[in-house]
């Protein structure tokens, strides 16, 4: 998970930084056009940094990403299995609830009503537990 977080961060930083380079070049061009004195090597440094950033991101996003791909696939499979188990648990809970919850009470004695509230309260607690 830490490696995937770092890969995500590298990708985000790379994309954001590359988006900022072109406007910087335009500003430098505009400054030169208006004869504003500045370091002549700045544009070269900017291009070198862009190339270095691309190299770092290719190293990070290429072989490292490929090496963690089997782990990602395994984790995705684990999550899908947990999801299937949870879906089965929910379906069983729903079926149990529909079978046991009082929904057509013919007798409305205080004992029947109290029992119905007790059953509903139990299922409420079970629902909170599943959440």
User: 23-28: long-range contacts at Cβ-Cβ below 8 A with a sequence spacing of 24 or more?
Assistant: none
pLDDT, one tens digit per residue, over 4-63 is: 888 888 888 888 888 888 888 888 888 888 887 777 777 788 888 888 888 888 887 777
- Greater confidence (11 vs 97) lies with 97
Within-domain flag for 31: yes
Q: What is the token pair recorded at 43?
A: 């544009």
The pLDDT, as a whole number, for residue 101 is 84
Q: Which residues of 55-83 are buried (b: 16+ CB within 10 A; e: fewer)?
A: eebeebeeeeeeeeeeeeeeeeeeeeeee
Domain count, the chain: 1
In this structure, is residue 74 part of a structural domain? yes
Among 42-56, 73-87, 94-108, name the most confident range. 73-87
| pLDDT for residue 102 is more than 90 | no
Question: Would 73 be classed as within a structural domain?
Answer: yes
In a domain, 55, yes or no: yes
pLDDT of residue 108: 78
Structural domain for 19, as ranges: 2-83
Reply yes or no on whether the pLDDT at 128 is more than 80: yes
Give the percent of the chain with pLDDT over 70. Answer: 98
pLDDT of residue 95: 95
Q: What is the reported pTM? A: 0.53
């Amino acid at each position: 998970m830490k490696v995937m977080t770092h890969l995500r961060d590298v990708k985000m930083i790379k994309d954001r930084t590359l988006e900022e380079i072109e406007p910087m070049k335009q500003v430098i061009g505009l400054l030169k056009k208006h004869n504003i004195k500045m370091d002549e090597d700045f544009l070269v440094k900017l291009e070198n940094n862009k190339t270095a950033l691309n190299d770092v991101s290719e190293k990070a996003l290429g072989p490292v990403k490929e090496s963690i791909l089997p782990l990602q696939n395994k984790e995705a499979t684990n999550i899908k299995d947990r999801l299937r188990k949870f879906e089965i648990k929910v379906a069983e809970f729903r079926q149990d609830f529909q079978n046991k919850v009082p929904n057509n009470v013919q007798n409305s004695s205080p004992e029947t009503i109290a029992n119905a509230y007790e059953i509903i309260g139990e299922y409420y607690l079970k629902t909170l537990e599943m959440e």
